[in-house]
């Protein structure tokens, strides 16, 4: 019996080792120069479109960054979020965390169309999402990074997975956030750094109503100012938007963390990062050093981009980001 149990443990260890090795191999196939020969003009082509769209609407930068996050947290960075519903599957666009919330699909379509004219059948939608996220940060004044490329696109999407709680809601507790990010190989420090993306963008009244009317760990003047455009009654002004970072809403900087220290986080999931818990010291360090925030944010974005990519012969290079080939 003891020998049998040892054999089972060895077998389980081998399986775990294979999973880790396969994941590492997939990540190893991603590299920053993946398209240097097959589509050398890819990066400036994407940048031009993003630059044009951000010039028209500054908010779209935050939307494009969020689009990448919502893609990677549902079965990996495979552009599944971009797929429209088909007869064989219900896509992720209408799942609770995405419906009437995630934006920027048309920008990705415009980029894909331009890239397809230059390099047909070469560049994946998943990689376009990764590049677009980086460019959005850079164009809002943040630090850039070399994007690892070589992902391929999924041929299906999962409404049920997107709805299963893998995407943290705006009412998340700190433990919930830590666990959700850890499930994707991201540390609490990564989680706090990535939350700093809320230094740009907006949120709808329905996502922060409870906080501004019911929370005690909130600056009163801040709560009162937010209530002006977010009535207490459910269904009244639900879609009214408020900026997440009052001080520098159109600049990718460390102001978001200063807001948290002053109990001016708009979402519950923002303020739990600084509320007497294990991440307080990280928030304080970022509020004092924007360079520390930039460094950790870039590292966390690269790690997030490594979540379960499809590489090699897995998946496909979609001709349209909205449907499988």
CATH of segment(s) 174-305: 1.10.420.10
Sequence spans of domains, the chain: 41-166, 174-305
Q: What percentage of the chain reaches a pLDDT higher than 70?
A: 91
Q: Which of 291, 293, 268 is nearest to 283 (CA)?
A: 293
Describe the chain by its helix, strand, coil percentages, rounded to 5. 50, 5, 45
- Give the annotated binding-site residues: 71, 74, 76, 78, 80, 92, 168, 198-199, 245, 248, 253
pLDDT at 24: 45
Percentage of the chain modeled with pLDDT above 90 = 91
- Of 59, 70, 148, 152, the catalytic one is 70
Backbone angles phi, psi at 289, to 5 degrees: -140, 105
pLDDT at 3: 45
Output the furthest CA–CA distance in the chain (Å, rounded).
70
For the segment 133-142, what is each residue's pLDDT rounded down to a tens digit?
999 999 999 9
User: Among the residues of 57-120, which ranges form H helices?
Assistant: 60-72, 105-118
Could you tell me the pTM of the whole model?
Answer: 0.90
pLDDT at 28: 57
Digit-coded pLDDT (tens) for 201-217: 999 999 999 999 999 99
Burial category of 140 from C-beta neighbours within 10 Å (exposed 0-12, middle 13-18, buried 19 and up): buried
Architecture in CATH of 41-166: Orthogonal Bundle (1.10)
Mean pLDDT of 168-174: 97
**Which residue would you say has higher pLDDT here, 27 or 102?**
102
Q: Which two tokens stand for residue 236?
A: 């009244």
70 a catalytic residue? yes
Q: Which residues are annotated as a binding site for Ca(2+)?
A: 71, 74, 76, 78, 80, 92, 199, 245, 248, 253
- Which pLDDT band holds residue 5 (cuts at 50, 70, 90)? very low
Summarize pLDDT for 59-90 with one digit per residue, the tens. 999 999 999 999 999 999 999 999 999 999 99
Once rounded to an integer, what is the mean pLDDT over residues 214-235? 96
Q: How much is the mean pLDDT over the chain? A: 93
Look at residue 26 in the predicted model and tell me its pLDDT: 52
pLDDT tens digits, 35-61: 999 999 999 999 999 999 999 999 999
Neighbours of 12 (CB within 10 A): 10
């Amino acid at each position: 019996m003891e020998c049998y149990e040892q054999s089972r443990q060895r077998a389980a260890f081998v399986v775990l080792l294979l999973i880790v090795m396969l994941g590492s191999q997939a990540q190893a196939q991603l590299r920053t120069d993946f398209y240097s020969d097959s589509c050398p003009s890819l990066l400036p082509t994407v940048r031009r479109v993003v630059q044009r769209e951000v010039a028209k609407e500054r908010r779209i930068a935050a939307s494009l960054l969020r689009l990448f996050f919502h893609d990677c947290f549902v079965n990996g960075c495979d552009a599944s979020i971009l797929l429209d519903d088909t007869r064989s599957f219900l896509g992720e666009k209408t799942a609770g965390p995405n419906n009437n919330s995630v934006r920027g699909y048309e920008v990705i379509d415009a980029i894909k169309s331009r890239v397809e004219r230059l390099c047909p059948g070469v560049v994946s939608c998943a990689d376009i999402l990764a590049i677009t996220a980086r460019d959005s940060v850079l164009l809002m004044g943040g630090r850039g990074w070399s994007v690892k490329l070589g992902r391929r696109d999924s041929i299906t999407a999962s409404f049920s997975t997107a709805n299963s709680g893998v995407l943290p809601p705006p009412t998340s507790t700190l433990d919930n956030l830590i666990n959700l990010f850890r499930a994707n190989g991201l540390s609490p420090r990564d989680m706090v750094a990535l939350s700093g993306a809320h230094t740009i963008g907006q949120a709808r009244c329905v996502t922060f109503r409870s906080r501004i009317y019911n929370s005690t760990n909130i600056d009163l003047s801040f709560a009162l100012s937010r209530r002006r455009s977010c009535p207490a009654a459910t269904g009244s002004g639900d879609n009214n938007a408020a900026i997440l970072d009052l001080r520098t809403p159109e600049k990718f900087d460390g102001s978001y963390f200063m807001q948290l220290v002053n109990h001016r986080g708009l979402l519950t999931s923002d303020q739990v990062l600084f509320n007497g818990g294990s991440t307080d010291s990280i928030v304080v360090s970022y509020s004092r050093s924007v360079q520390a925030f930039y460094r950790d944010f870039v590292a966390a974005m690269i790690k997030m981009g490594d979540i379960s990519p499809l590489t090699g012969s897995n998946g496909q290079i979609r001709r349209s980001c909205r449907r499988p080939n």
